[in-house]
Amino acid sequence: MAVSDEALLAGVAAGDTDATAAFVRRYQRRVYGLALSVVGDPGLAEDVAQDAFVRAWRHAGSYDPRRGKASTWLLTITRNAAIDVLRMRRDLPTEPALLVDQLVAGGDQADRVADSDRVRAALAELSRDHAVAVVLSAYFGLTAREISDRMAIPLGTAKSRIRTGLHRLRRMLEVTND
Amino acid sequence: MTEPYECDEVADLLAEVATGAATGPDRDRVARHLADCERCRRELDELSWVADEVLLAAPEHEPPARFESMVLERIAAEDRSPGRRPRRARLLLAAAAAVLIAAVSAGSVWWGTASDRELAAGYRDALDVADGRYFAAAPLNDDDDVQVGHVFLYDGSPSWLFVVLDPAPEPGTYDIVVTVNGAERSAGRCVVTGTGCAAGDTLAGKIADVDSVRLLGPDGTEVRADLSRPNR
Ligand SMILES: [Zn+2]
C-alpha cells in the first residue's frame, strides 16, 4: 500500500531520513517545475527548489492536514521561495501570458497528475484577462497595484480581476472536487 | 474593541492575502478585521484553497540528476549544525511511533522498551495502516516563540495525544493541559530527565476539536501549541 502524502510528511516531521528521501523523490518534479515556471532560469530554479525542500523539512512539524493537502502546502512554500528570489530582480523572467498558455497546455508529461488537469481545465475556462491577473498574483506574488502598473489598467480593475478570477475558479473547482 | 474596517473594505484585499501577494500593512488590516468577522474568515479560507490549487497547474519538470542527493545533503548538514540536537529527531520518531502504534494496537504503549530500529519499522507500518489521515503534529513554543518541542495527535479509538519537550526550558515536572472546544482538561505530566521529556495520554474527542495543548512547568514556565489558528 502506498503511503499517503500526509503520512510521508509526518515521517519527515519525525526526522525519518527514509521518509524524507521518499518525499523529495515524490515531489521533485513538481517543485522544480513550479520553480522553473516562476524564475525562468534552470540554475536559479534548482536553488529555489532545493531551498523549498529544506524549508519544508524545517517546518514539517507545523504542517496541519486539516488546513490542506501536503502537495499544495509544499507548492506554496516553493512559490514563496521563488518570489523571494524574484523580488531581487527588476522584471519578470517569464511573460505571464506565455506562462498562462503553458499552464493550460500542461506540457507533455506522460504521468500527468489528475488534480493538475482539473486545475488546468478550470484556468482554460477563465477569460485571458482574469487568468493572467490570477497567475500574476498567485505565481509571481504581484499586488493589485503592481498588476495595474504592469498591464496599464486601473487599480480597481486589477483588484476585481484577481477577485473575480479566484471566485470563478472556486466555482469550477468545487464542482469537480466532489 | 474597535472595528476599523468593514467587510466591503477588505473584500478585495482578501484575494491578495489568499494568493500571498498582499503587502504587510494590507495583511495587518485584514487580520484585524478577521478577528471579529467569521464570514470573511470563511471567505479567506475558501479563496486560499483556490489560490493554492492554482499552483497545481504548474507543469512538472525533471530536475538535474544530482538534485535529490543535493537536497538530502543540505538537510543532513542542517540537522548536524550546532543549533540542532540529534536527540530531537530520535525522540520525535519515538513519539510518532508510540502514538501510531498505540492507536493501532488499541492502547498499549511500548516505545520505552523498543529499539530505535524497531520503532522506525513500526512507525512506517503504522503509517501504512493509518494512512496518515488522522495524524496531526504541531510545534510547542515557549514565550519567545522558540520551538522547544512537539505535539502529536491521533484520531482513533481511542484518540491519542503525545508531547515531546526537548529541550525543556526548565528542569522539573510539567502538567499537560489540553483545551478541547474551549474546555480545559488535564492530560498527565511530563517529567524532565536529562534535557527533555515525552509523555502521552488518551484524548476524549476528536483532534479537530483541540484548541491548544499547554505544558505548565515550575515557576510559571509555560510552553504551548496552538491548534485552532483561525487566521492564516
Ligand atoms: Zn467581514
Q: What stretches of chain A show up as alpha helix (H) in DSSP?
A: 5-13, 17-39, 42-59, 70-86, 96-105, 114-125, 128-138, 144-151, 155-177
Q: Is the pLDDT score of A152 beyond 80?
A: yes
Are residue B112 and residue B222 in the same domain, yes or no?
yes
The helix or strand, by DSSP H or E, that contains position B9, with its residue range, turns out to be: helix B7-19
pLDDT of A145 reads 94
Examine residue B67 and state whether it is found in any structural domain, yes or no: no
Task: Report the DSSP beta bridge partners of residue B175.
Answer: B189, B216
Per residue in A48-86, is it b (16+ CB within 10 Å) or e — as a string?
bbbbbbbebbbebbbbbbebbbbbbbbbbbbbebbbebb
Residue B172 lies in a domain: yes
Classified by CATH at the fold level, domain A96-177 comes out as Arc Repressor Mutant, subunit A (1.10.10)
Query: Are B55 and A75 a contacting pair, CB within 8 Å?
Result: yes
Assess whether B162 and B51 both reside in one domain.
no
Cα(B37) to ligand 1 centroid in Å equals 5
Look up the pTM and report it.
0.65
The amino acid that residue A111 corresponds to is D
pLDDT on residue A107: 55
- Give the alpha-carbon dihedral of A45, A66, B27, A173, to 10 degrees: 70
Q: Is position B63 within any domain?
A: no
Would you say residue A48 has pLDDT above 90? yes
**pLDDT of A29 strictly over 80:** yes
Q: Of B94, B126, B124, B125, which is closest to residue B110 (Cα–Cα)?
A: B94
Question: Looking at this predicted complex, what is its ipTM?
Answer: 0.92
Within a domain: B65: no
CA distance A15 to A34: 26
pLDDT for B231: 32
Q: Model confidence at A38, in pLDDT bands (50, 70, 90)? A: very high
The answer to whether residue A166 scores a pLDDT higher than 90 is yes
Asked whether the beta carbons of residue A33 and residue B61 sit closer than 8 angstroms, the reply is yes
Q: Residue B165: which of B144, B186, B194 has the closest Cα?
A: B194
- How many structural domains is chain B composed of? 2
Instruction: For chain B of 232 residues, list the mean pLDDT of each consecutive stretch of 10.
Output: 69 90 84 84 89 93 94 88 50 51 37 36 43 62 85 66 81 91 87 77 77 91 79 30
Domain that holds residue B161: 87-226
Least confident of A51-60, A68-77, B127-136, B165-174: B127-136
B93·A138 Cβ contact <8 A:
no
Same structural domain for residues B31 and B132?
Answer: no
CB–CB of A48/A35 below 8 Å? yes
| CA–CA gap between residue B21 and residue A131 (Å, rounded) | 16
Residues B161 and B202 in one domain: yes
What's the gap in Å between B40 CA and the centre of ligand 1? Answer: 4
Mutate: best of B75, B128, B147, partner A, most A CBs <10 A: B75
Q: State yes or no: pLDDT of A8 exceeds 60.
A: yes
Most confidently modeled range among A5-19, A22-36, B145-159: A22-36
Are B37 and B93 members of one domain? no
Tell which residue, B123, B121, B219, has the closest CA to residue B162: B123
Cβ pairs A/B, distance under 8 A: 241
* Whether the predicted pLDDT of A94 surpasses 90: no
pLDDT, position B108: 31
Q: Which residue has the higher pLDDT, A168 or B30?
A: A168
B91 and B175 together in one domain: yes
Residue A54 has pLDDT above 60, yes or no: yes
- State the average pLDDT for chain A: 85
> Which amino acid is residue A8, in one-letter code?
L
- Identify which of B52, B131, B135 has the shortest CB distance to residue A68: B52
The pLDDT assigned to B111 comes to 34
Domain spans, chain A: 5-90, 96-177
B127 vs A10, A162, A169: nearest CB:
A10
Q: Which SS3 state, helix, strand or coil, does residue B190 take?
A: strand
Judge if B98 and B211 occupy the same domain: yes
Domain stop point among B57, B75, B101? B57
Same domain? B42 vs B105:
no
| pLDDT value, residue B118 | 40
Assign a CATH topology to domain A5-90. Answer: Rna Polymerase Sigma Factor; Chain: A (1.10.1740)
Please check the confidence at residue A47 and state whether its pLDDT lies above 70: yes
pLDDT band at A42 (very low <50, low <70, confident <90, very high): very high
Residue of A nearest to B13 (CA): A159
Shared-domain flag, residues B130 and B27: no
On whether both B132 and B219 belong to a single domain, the answer is yes
CATH of the domain at B215: 2.60.40
Please tell me whether residues B50 and B107 are part of one structural domain: no
Q: Based on the domain organization, do B40 and B138 belong to the same domain? A: no
Identify whether the C-beta of residue B126 lies closer than 8 Å to the C-beta of residue B100: yes
